[in-house]
Every structure is written in C-alpha cells, then in structure tokens.
Chains A and B, each alone.
Chain A
Amino acid sequence: MPLGTLDRTPPPFFKQGPSAVSKLMVCSALALFLMVADARFRIAEPVRSLVATILYPVEWVAMRPVAAARFVAGYFESLHAAQASEQTAERKLVEQSLRASQVEQLQMENRRLRQLLDLRERLTTRAQAAEVLYDAADPYTRKVIIDRGLAQAIAPGSPVIDESGVVGQVTRVYPLVSEVTLITDRDQAIPVLNTRTSARSVAYGDPAGHGGWLELRFMAGNADVQPGDLLTTSGVDGVYPPGLPVAKVVKVERRGDGGFARIQCEPQARVDAAQHVMVLTPVGAELPARPAPDDSPPATAAKKAWGRK
C-alpha cells in the first residue's frame, strides 16, 4: 500500500491553535457585536455592503435555475391564457382611453384653476423601472430584491409602486441591487388618506406576519371607516407622492379592546407577486430647501430693548 493513503495521520499534538471554547467565545462575541451594531446603531452597513458585493456573483449563479424555470414556464404558457390576457388588456385600454380623454380636459381646467388660485404647480416625481429579482429568504420580514442599485442612483427611502398601487419602500441600497421592504412588513408604516371621508391615518404592516394584510391602528371605535373604502397615500410625509392607491378596507371590527377599532385592509398592488415595479424619487428630495433660520428681527429687537434697560 502506498504511503499517504491513511486518513489517520497523527495530529499535531502540541500545536492545534486556540482551543474550540476560545474560538467560540470570540466568534459569538463578534456576532453579538454585529447584531447590536446592525439593529441599534446602523453602523454595520459597510460590512454588509462589502459582503454583498463579494457575494453578488454567487447569487447571480444561484438565480440562474429559477430564471431558467421561469423562462420555460413562460414559454409554454398556453395560448388560451395569452388570449385571455390580451382581451383584458384591450378592455382596460378602452376603459382608460375614456378616462384619458377626460384627463386632458381636467388637466387643462386644473391648470387654469391653479393659476387662478396662484397655487404652486404640482410636483412631478421622476421614476425608473425595475424588475423584482427574488423574495428575500428571511422568513421574519417581508422584503424583495430589485435589480437597480447605487449604480442607477437609487436613493434609500424611495417609494416603489406597481401598476395598481404602492408596493413598498427602498430600505437598503447596494452597488447593483437594492432591498425593498413591502408595505405588509411588520415594521413598515405608510400615511394614508381615506378617499371617501378625507380622513388621514397611518396604515401598518401585518403584525402576525403571514396574512399579507395592512392594519389601520389607533382609529376610534366609532371612526367613519367602512369596508370598501379606498386608502391612498396622503402626501404629508414628504416621501410618497399623494394619490397613489395603497389598500382597500376589508373588515372593520368595532368592539376592539381599549376602545380602538380593528381595521383590516387589503393591499391594492400585487405585493407578493410583483414582477415589474417603478422606483420613484422621494418627494422630499424635490421640495425646495427650507429657508435658513436667520435671526428674526422681533427677537433681536426684544434683546436690544432688554439690553438697554
């Protein structure tokens, strides 16, 4: 038997490096430090960005089988389904052409009225299209990864919409991809406006985490909210442009504990199955800068008066 065929070579008895316990302590301490730095102080972003950039080729390879499967499935989609989707698209087009012709007229009227009232022109937000690459595998949150990042000048905090409503908000930006937290995430909140009553409130993500609902919290038990009410963005937050559909009220339970109603809403966008989305620039980024707080004349006058006395 040739030499070197035995796995049981004598181990280096006296030189085995640091003991397992000391390695465990060092690595656990490092992991705990990273967790606190990430969750509380947000100072671990450079580490995350570095690892994400190194990992990107691996992730790209891992995405191939799923992308191939999706392509094949799309190729073999039956003719029937294609025809049905074409019919719905045509119907939508007819419906929208009616509205579009009205919009022209309304816009003109609106422009005149605004000029009349000397109101500032409505802000127009810039947008860029993006594609959802995959759902983030973390089961404790609701996030997706899109194929635009720092290279395409995506800013953290940007609203993300699809054709029927708000999907979520960009929370982390890497060089080539970014992370979007969906509006159904537990920690996500979005200011909304009830279009029927013009009442403003805030919609929160589902605390249970697997229903895909939104919740209107802290609404009084007798608040004027009915199933079927449409909630749109209110535009008071400086992030979302006003008037984007967010959710529809589905269920209102009046006898909640603590005098608040339990209001469940269903997102309008296809939050869990969004494929193509638009990333908008946050409204706040386009607002004019606030005037610098120079020393106001009344205060100085009062000071001088006080100094003279």
Chain B
Amino acid sequence: MIMRPGQPLLLPANPVFIWGTLLLALLADMVPLGRTPWMPDLLALVLVFWSVHQPLRVGIGAAFLFGLAMDVHETGLLGQHALAYTALSYFAITIHRRLLWFSVPSQALQVLPLFVAAHAIQMAVRMIAGGAFPGMVVVLAPVIECLLWPVVSVLLLAPQRRAPDPDENRPL
C-alpha cells in the first residue's frame, strides 16, 4: 500500500467501535435542542469520516439507513436525509484515496464542499416540497462541520494509534 511519507501505521479498526461511534452520533443528533438550523450534523460528519477511512465497512447502504432514521426523527420529508447522506457517502468514497494524502487541515478544506452539497440537497428538496425558508444561519452548519473535522480525526483514530505491543512504558 502506498502511503504518505511520515504517516504512522495504524492498528486495524474495531467494527464495534465504528458502529458504536455512528450510533453515538445518531444519539447526539437526536438530543432535542429545539429548532436550530445552524446545528452541525454530527452523524453526517462521522459517516463521511468512516466512509473515507473504512470504505469497505461503512458505505452507501449504511448512510441511507441512518438517513431514514434521521428523517423519521425530524418529522420532515421521508427520504430527505437519506438522499443527502447517500450522496455524501458516495462522494466521500470517490475522494477517499486522494484525501488521505493530505494533512488533516487540508482534508477539512476538501470535505467542506461535500457538507455544503449535502445541506444544499436537503434545502432544495424541501423548497420544492413547499417548506418555509429557515433563514441564512443554515449556511453555518457545513462550516462548523468542516471545522470539527480535525477534532473528529483525532478522536476517532485514537484507538488505532495505540501501541501494537503494550508494555510497562507504553500502557496504551
């Protein structure tokens, strides 16, 4: 496997951890904090992250199902999040080989268009179906998601960065 020079070798990802973080993100999205259009979509962020890092495990089908769950929870149009997450996951898989050659801040910049597209798809669908315009603050959501990318990268890769053979000096 060709890798970026200086990139550390990682331990294999634990499937339980992957699905656990996805469920946790779903849970975080479902915390009822009222109608806040600028709220970043953590589930979308985690889905893109795993689609980029583990495209063989987390793919378009999983994204679709999580989207359906979000649709039912938000009482919006059924299929709106499903479509957005499907597109998000597809684009994440198309760029996953290129993206990992960049440093984490440049990665964040490159996933920004993905998040913008996902929110634009949802907005377009709802405007066509006759929803009310939620206000300009909706633009903030993809920007916050992009700013959270480095944080998520550190947190979700942490279990894979442990030492392969822990000893007295390296317990983790």
- Taking Cβ atoms with an 8 Å cutoff, the residues of A that contact B are 1-2, 4-9, 11, 16, 20-21, 23-24, 27-28, 30-35, 37-39, 44, 47-48, 51-52, 55, 58-59, 61-63, 65-66, 133-143, 145, 172, 179, 185-187, 206-210
Contacts and interface: CB of A to CB of B under 8 A. Distances in A.
Contacts, number: 168
B77 A35 contact: yes
A137 B87 contact: no
Contact of B82 (A31, A48, A186): A31
Contact of B93 (A20, A51, A135): A20
Given A34-B79, A210-B134, A135 B126 contact: no
7 contacts: A23-B90, A27-B64, A31-B80, A135-B32, A137-B35, A139-B37, A209-B134
B12 A136 contact: no
B164 A5 contact: yes
B130 A5 contact: no
A61 B59 CA distance: 26
A40 B27 CA distance: 30
A7 B18 CA distance: 14
Contacts of B76: 136, 138, 140-141
Which of A66, A138, A186 lies at the interface centre, i.e. has the most chain B CB atoms within 10 A of its CB? A138
Interface string B72-98: 111111111011001100100110000
Nearest to A21: B90
Nearest to B125: A35
Given A141-B75, A208-B132, A210-B132, 19 more contacts: A8-B9, A16-B56, A20-B60, A28-B83, A28-B86, A30-B82, A31-B80, A47-B78, A51-B68, A55-B30, A55-B73, A58-B30, A62-B32, A134-B34, A138-B76, A140-B133, A141-B132, A145-B75, A207-B132
Nearest to A49: B72
A232 to B, nearest CB: 26
B119 to A, nearest CB: 11
Contacts of B74: 136-138
A31 B86 contact: yes
B144 interface: no
A139 to B, nearest CB: 4
Contacts of B60: 20, 23-24, 27
B75 A172 contact: yes
A142 B131 CA distance: 10
B123 to A, nearest CB: 8
Interface in B44-79: 56, 59-61, 63-64, 67-69, 72-79
B72 A51 contact: yes
B73 A141 contact: no
Contact of B80 (A21, A35, A145): A35
B90 A20 contact: yes
Given A35-B83, A140-B131, A179 B75 contact: yes
In order of increasing CB-CB distance, the 9 nearest A-B pairs are A209-B132, A140-B131, A134-B32, A34-B79, A139-B134, A62-B30, A31-B83, A38-B78, A35-B79
